[in-house]
Amino acid sequence: MAEELRIVLRNADKIDASNINDYIKAGGYTALEKARRMEPRAVIEEVKKANLRGRGGAGFNAGLKWSFVPPAETKYVVCNLDEGEPGTYKDRTIVQKDPQTLLEGMAICAHAIGSRQGYIYCRGEYPYLVEHLNNAIAQAKAAGVLGDFDIEVRMGGGAYVCGEETALIESIEGHRGEPRFKPPFPGVAGLWAQPTVVNNVETFANLPEIINKGADWFASIGAASYPGTKVLTLTGDVVNRIAIEVPTNTTIRQVIYEFGGGIRNGRKFKAVQIGGTSGGFIPESLLDTPIDFDSMRNIGATLGTGAVFVMDDTRDIVDIVTRIAKFFEHESCGKCNPCREGTFRCYEIMKKINRGAATARDIDNITVLARVMQKAALCGLGQAAPGPIMTTLQHFRHEYERKLLS
C-alpha cells in the first residue's frame, strides 16, 4: 500500500492554521532563521541543488530561476495563488491548512534574492483566503518573524489567463490581464519593470523543509529528475475526492486505486485527465506511469497543477472535451490571433462533432488548427488549449468517429 509523504502539508490538520504560535511550536520559522544566517548566494545554490521544480505547471528549477535575478534597488517576490485550472484545489488546501509555511517560504526567497516586498495574487473566487492570509500576515508582522519583508495580498478577478505570470503582473499593476511578450522574463523585468520572482504556492511551501533538512534530503525523494512530493487533487468518478501529497515516483494507478479508492459506484475506469483542464487525457494502458513531470511528458501528458480528473466508462469523452473547448474560448484574452480565433474555432468544431453534424474533414481541420495553436499562440493558454482534443483523438478516436456523419 502506497503512503502519503507530507512536506508542504506536514502541519495540515495538526495545528491551528489561524494561530502563528502553533506554527512556531511545530518548528516554524527556524528555516528562515537558518537561511538568514546563510549567504543569499548559498540559499540559491541549496534550492538549485535540491532540484525543486516549479509546482505551478512549468516545472522550472526554482533556484535556477532565482539565480537570474540581476542586482537592483527594488525586487519583488510574487506568489501565484490564482489557481484557475479547473479541478485544482491544492493551493487553497495548503493555504487554508498552513498559511505560515507559505509566508516563511516567500521570506526565504526574499532573503535569497534581496527583496523587501512580496505580493500574493489570490484569485477573486477565494475571498475567504484573502482574509485568512491577511490575518496570518498580521500575526507574522506582530511576531516580528518577517523582519523587513512586507507581504501584500492582491485579488484577481476570475480570469484564468491571469495565472500566466506576465498576465498576473499586468493585473497587479492594475491593467487588463493580458500576457506580455517574453523576453524580458519577469526575473529580469517584471512588476513595475523591476526584477520579480513569480512562484507557485506549493513551490514556496516546500522551501522551509528544504532549508531545514537540506538539498540532498529533498533530492533523494521520489523521481530523480523531479524530486520531492506533489500535492494532487482528486475529482470526478473516484471514490475519495481528496487532496493528497505523494512522492513524485507514485504511479497514476496508485493515485487512483490506492489513494482514490478506485472508481465510484463499482464502475470501470475509462480515462483520467491530469494537470487540469489543459492536461492530456490518459487511457488505462498508461496508468503505470509515474506522475513526475518528465514521465508524464514522455507519454504526451502533463503533470500540470496535479489535478486528477477521473472518468468512468459511462462518460462521453467528446461531450467533456466540448465543454473544455468552451472553457478556453471563454478564457482566451484575445491578445493574440492564434488563440483568440483558434479557441473559437476549436469550440465551434467540437460542438459540431458533439451534435453529430461533423465529417472526417472536420477532424482533419481541427488537427491542423491544433498544431498551429501549439506553435503560434503567444502564451501557454493557446498553446495548451488543443491538448485535450489531441490526446483524446489519439487515445479515444473511436468516440469521435462514432459521432461523425457517415
Partner 1 sequence: MANYRDIIARYQDKPGGIIEAYHALQREFNYIPREAVKEVARVFRLSEAQAYGVATFYSYLSVEPRGNYIIRMCESAPCHIAGADEIIKAFERELGIKVGQTTPDGKFTLELTECVGQCQGTPVITINSVPHVGITPDQIPAILALCK
The residues binding ligand FMN (CB under 6 A) are 54-58, 60, 80, 82-85, 161, 163-165, 198-200, 203, 379-381
Contacts to ligand FES from residues 68-87, by CB under 6 A: 86-87
In sequence order, which residues have a C-beta less than 8 Å from that of residue 341 and are 6 or more positions away?
none
CA atoms of 319 and 271, how far apart (whole Å)? 14
Taking the complex as a whole, how short is the minimal distance between the CB of residue 76 and ligand FES, in angstroms? Answer: 30
The site partner of 379 among ligand FMN, partner 1, ligand FES, none (C-beta below 5 to 8 Å per kind) is ligand FMN
- Here's the x/- map for partner 1, 250-279, by CB under 8 A: it reads as -----------------------x---x--
Q: Sheet containing 196-200: which strands, arranged edge to edge?
A: 150-155, 117-122, 76-81, 196-200
The site partner of 115 among partner 1, ligand FMN, ligand FES, none (C-beta below 5 to 8 Å per kind) is none
Classify the phi-psi angles of 263: left when phi > 0, otherwise alpha if psi is within -120 to 50, otherwise beta: beta
Grid coordinates given for 393: 483523438
- Here's the x/- map for partner 1, 155-194, by CB under 8 A: it reads as xxxxxx----------xxxxxxx--------------x--
Taking the complex as a whole, how short is the minimal distance between the CB of residue 88 and ligand FES, in angstroms? Answer: 8
Q: Does 118 bind partner 1 (CB under 8 A)?
A: no
Contacts to partner 1 from residues 74-113, by CB under 8 A: 83-89, 92
Taking the complex as a whole, how short is the minimal distance between the CB of residue 86 and ligand FES, in angstroms? Answer: 5
Cα angle at 15 between 9 and 19, to 5 degrees? 115
Q: Which is nearer to ligand FES, 208 or 279 (CB)?
A: 279
CA atoms of 105 and 244, how far apart (whole Å)? 20
Tell me the residue type at 191: L
In sequence order, which residues have a C-beta less than 8 Å from that of residue 95 and are 6 or more positions away?
81, 102, 129, 132, 133, 201
> Is the separation of the CB atoms in 105 and 322 below 8 Å?
no
DSSP code of residue 254:
I
Q: Does 323 bind partner 1 (CB under 8 A)?
A: yes
Q: Which is nearer to ligand FMN, 20 or 172 (CB)?
A: 172
Q: Which is nearer to partner 1, 49 or 315 (CB)?
A: 315
In sequence order, which residues have a C-beta less than 8 Å from that of residue 293 and are 6 or more positions away?
53, 59, 225, 226, 248, 303
State the CB neighbour count (10 A cutoff) for residue 297.
14
Cα-Cα end-to-end distance for the chain: 48
Taking the complex as a whole, how short is the minimal distance between the CB of residue 316 and partner 1, in angstroms? Answer: 9
Q: Does 241 bind partner 1 (CB under 8 A)?
A: yes
Give the total of residues touching ligand FES (CB under 6 A): 2
Q: Does 355 bind partner 1 (CB under 8 A)?
A: no
> Is the separation of the CB atoms in 329 and 298 below 8 Å?
no
Contacts to ligand FES from residues 82-121, by CB under 6 A: 86-87
Q: Which is nearer to ligand FES, 63 or 236 (CB)?
A: 236
Q: Does 243 bind partner 1 (CB under 8 A)?
A: yes
SS3 257: helix
SS3 291: coil
Q: Which is nearer to ligand FES, 218 or 309 (CB)?
A: 309
Residues within the interface to ligand FES (CB under 6 A) = 86-87
